[in-house]
A and B are shown apart, each in its own frame.
Chain A
Amino acid sequence: MPRILIVEDDAAIREMLARRLSMAGYETVSAEDGVRALLASVQAAPDLILMDMGLPILNGWQATERIKKRPETRHIPIIALTAYALNEDRYRAMNIGCDDFEAKPIDFDRLLQKIARLTGTYEQREAAS
Chain B
Amino acid sequence: MIGTGAAPFLPPALHPETAEGITRYERDLTLADGTGISLELVAAPFLAEGKPAWQVVAHNITARKQTEEALRQAKEWAEEANRTKSRFLANMSHELRTLLTTIIGYADLITISVQSGEFDRVASDIARVRDAGKHLLAIINDLLDLSKIEAGRMEIHGKRFSVRALAEEVIASMRVFAQKRNNDLTLNIDPTVEMMHSDDMRVRQILYNLLHNACKFTENGAVTLDIARVVSDDDHAAHLVFTISDTGIGMTADQIASLFREFTQADSSTTRKYGGTGLGLALSRRLAHLLGGEITVTSQPGVGTTFVVTLPEHLVLAAAPEPTPVDATPISATPPAPEPGEHTRRLVLLIDDDPAVRDLLLRMLERPDLHIETAVDGASGLELARLLTPDLIILDILMPEMDGWTVLRELKASNDTAAIPVILLTIADDREHGMLLGAAEMIHKPADLDRLDQRIRTLIRGRSAQVEAANRQILIVEDDETVRQYLRRTLERECEDWVIMEVTDGQTALEHCTTAMPDVIVLDLMIPGIDGLQFIEALRTLPDGCSTPIIVVIAQDLTADERERLCHSVTRILYKGSFHCHEFAREVRAAIATYAQLYPLEV
Residue-by-residue, is B72-116 near A (CB-CB < 8 Å gives 1, otherwise 0)? Answer: 000000000000000000100111011011111110110010000
Instruction: Find out whether the CB atom of B101 lies under 8 angstroms from the CB atom of A105.
Output: yes
A49 within 8 A of B: no
Least distance between B537 CB and chain A CB atoms (Å): 34
**B contact patch SS:** helix
- By a CB distance below 8 angstroms, the chain B residues around A89 are 340
A19 within 8 A of B: yes
B416 within 8 A of A: yes
Partner of B388, one of A16, A55, A66, A85: A66
Bound CA–CA A97/B109 (angstroms)? 31
Residue-by-residue, is B264-286 near A (CB-CB < 8 Å gives 1, otherwise 0)? Answer: 00011110110000000000000
A112 within 8 A of B: no
Q: Which residue of chain B lies nearest to A43 when distances are taken between CB atoms in the complex?
A: B387
Within 8 A of B (CB), among A39-86: 39, 42, 53-62, 66, 69-70, 83-86
Bound CA–CA A13/B125 (angstroms)? 11
Within 8 A of A (CB), among B376-414: 386-389
Q: Which residues of chain A have a CB within 8 Å of any CB of chain B?
A: 9-10, 12-13, 16-17, 19-20, 23, 33-35, 38-39, 42, 53-62, 66, 69-70, 83-86, 89, 103-106, 108
Partner of B101, one of A19, A69, A86, A106: A106
Least distance between B255 CB and chain A CB atoms (Å): 14
Instruction: Find out whether the CB atom of B388 lies under 8 angstroms from the CB atom of A12.
Output: no
Q: Which residue of chain A lies nearest to B128 when distances are taken between CB atoms in the complex?
A: A12
Least distance between A34 CB and chain B CB atoms (Å): 8
Bound CA–CA A86/B117 (angstroms)? 38
Least distance between B593 CB and chain A CB atoms (Å): 16
Q: Which residue of chain B lies nearest to A73 when distances are taken between CB atoms in the complex?
A: B387
Q: Which residue of chain A lies nearest to B112 when distances are taken between CB atoms in the complex?
A: A23
Instruction: Find out whether the CB atom of A86 lies under 8 angstroms from the CB atom of B97.
Output: no
- By a CB distance below 8 angstroms, the chain A residues around B388 are 35, 38-39, 66
Q: Which residue of chain A lies nearest to B129 when distances are taken between CB atoms in the complex?
A: A12
- By a CB distance below 8 angstroms, the chain B residues around A20 are 105, 108-109
Bound CA–CA A35/B272 (angstroms)? 17
Within 8 A of A (CB), among B248-272: 267-270, 272
Least distance between B362 CB and chain A CB atoms (Å): 14
B344 within 8 A of A: yes
Given contacts A42-B387, A59-B269, A106-B101, 11 further A-B contacts (CB under 8 A): A12-B105, A12-B132, A13-B98, A33-B269, A35-B373, A54-B269, A54-B340, A60-B341, A83-B97, A84-B90, A106-B104
Instruction: Find out whether the CB atom of A105 lies under 8 angstroms from the CB atom of B104.
Output: yes
Instruction: Find out whether the CB atom of B106 lies under 8 angstroms from the CB atom of A12.
Output: yes
Q: Which residue of chain A lies nearest to B389 when distances are taken between CB atoms in the complex?
A: A66
B343 within 8 A of A: yes
Q: How many residues of B contact A (CB 8 A)?
A: 38
B371 within 8 A of A: yes
Least distance between B230 CB and chain A CB atoms (Å): 40
Instruction: Find out whether the CB atom of A57 lies under 8 angstroms from the CB atom of B345.
Output: yes
- By a CB distance below 8 angstroms, the chain A residues around B416 are 69-70
- By a CB distance below 8 angstroms, the chain B residues around A104 are 97-98, 100-101
- By a CB distance below 8 angstroms, the chain B residues around A84 are 90, 94, 340-341
Least distance between A59 CB and chain B CB atoms (Å): 5
Bound CA–CA A19/B104 (angstroms)? 14
B347 within 8 A of A: yes
- By a CB distance below 8 angstroms, the chain A residues around B344 are 34, 57-59, 62
Instruction: Find out whether the CB atom of A85 lies under 8 angstroms from the CB atom of B93.
Output: yes
A59-B344, A61-B341, A108-B108 given as contacts; is B102 within 8 A of A10 (CB)?
A: yes
Instruction: Find out whether the CB atom of A83 lies under 8 angstroms from the CB atom of B341.
Output: no
Instruction: Find out whether the CB atom of A105 lies under 8 angstroms from the CB atom of B97.
Output: yes
Least distance between B385 CB and chain A CB atoms (Å): 11
Residue-by-residue, is B317-349 near A (CB-CB < 8 Å gives 1, otherwise 0)? Answer: 000000000000000000000001111110100
Instruction: Find out whether the CB atom of A57 lies under 8 angstroms from the CB atom of B93.
Output: no
Bound CA–CA A108/B128 (angstroms)? 19
Bound CA–CA A55/B272 (angstroms)? 9
Instruction: Find out whether the CB atom of B347 lies under 8 angstroms from the CB atom of A10.
Output: no
Instruction: Find out whether the CB atom of B97 lies under 8 angstroms from the CB atom of A56.
Output: no
Partner of B371, one of A16, A35, A53: A35
* A-B pairs with lowest CB-CB distance, top 6: A56-B269, A83-B97, A104-B101, A16-B105, A105-B101, A105-B100
Least distance between A125 CB and chain B CB atoms (Å): 19
Instruction: Find out whether the CB atom of A83 lies under 8 angstroms from the CB atom of B101.
Output: yes
Bound CA–CA A36/B62 (angstroms)? 63
Instruction: Find out whether the CB atom of B269 lies under 8 angstroms from the CB atom of A16.
Output: no
Bound CA–CA A59/B338 (angstroms)? 14
Bound CA–CA A19/B269 (angstroms)? 23
Bound CA–CA A42/B387 (angstroms)? 8
Q: Which residue of chain B lies nearest to A65 when distances are taken between CB atoms in the complex?
A: B389
Instruction: Find out whether the CB atom of A85 lies under 8 angstroms from the CB atom of B97.
Output: yes
Least distance between B126 CB and chain A CB atoms (Å): 12
Instruction: Find out whether the CB atom of A83 lies under 8 angstroms from the CB atom of B269.
Output: no
Partner of A54, one of B94, B104, B345, B371: B94
Bound CA–CA A85/B93 (angstroms)? 8
Least distance between A98 CB and chain B CB atoms (Å): 13
- By a CB distance below 8 angstroms, the chain A residues around B128 are 12
- By a CB distance below 8 angstroms, the chain B residues around A42 are 387
- By a CB distance below 8 angstroms, the chain A residues around B90 are 84, 86
- By a CB distance below 8 angstroms, the chain B residues around A38 are 387-388
Q: Which residue of chain B lies nearest to A53 when distances are taken between CB atoms in the complex?
A: B341
Least distance between B370 CB and chain A CB atoms (Å): 10
Q: Which residue of chain B lies nearest to A57 when distances are taken between CB atoms in the complex?
A: B371
Bound CA–CA A42/B384 (angstroms)? 11
Instruction: Find out whether the CB atom of A13 lies under 8 angstroms from the CB atom of B101.
Output: yes
Bound CA–CA A55/B341 (angstroms)? 8
- By a CB distance below 8 angstroms, the chain B residues around A33 are 269
Least distance between B89 CB and chain A CB atoms (Å): 10
Bound CA–CA A105/B96 (angstroms)? 9
- By a CB distance below 8 angstroms, the chain B residues around A103 are 97
Bound CA–CA A32/B386 (angstroms)? 20
Bound CA–CA A30/B598 (angstroms)? 36
Bound CA–CA A58/B128 (angstroms)? 27
Partner of A16, one of B109, B341, B373, B387: B109
Instruction: Find out whether the CB atom of B105 lies under 8 angstroms from the CB atom of A13.
Output: yes
Least distance between B206 CB and chain A CB atoms (Å): 28
Q: Which residue of chain B lies nearest to A108 when distances are taken between CB atoms in the complex?
A: B108
Bound CA–CA A51/B342 (angstroms)? 16
Least distance between A56 CB and chain B CB atoms (Å): 3
- The residue in B132, B341, B386 that gathers the most chain A C-beta atoms within 10 A of its C-beta is B341
12 A-B residue pairs with CB within 8 Å:
A10-B98, A10-B272, A12-B105, A19-B109, A35-B373, A54-B94, A54-B341, A57-B371, A58-B345, A83-B101, A84-B90, A104-B101
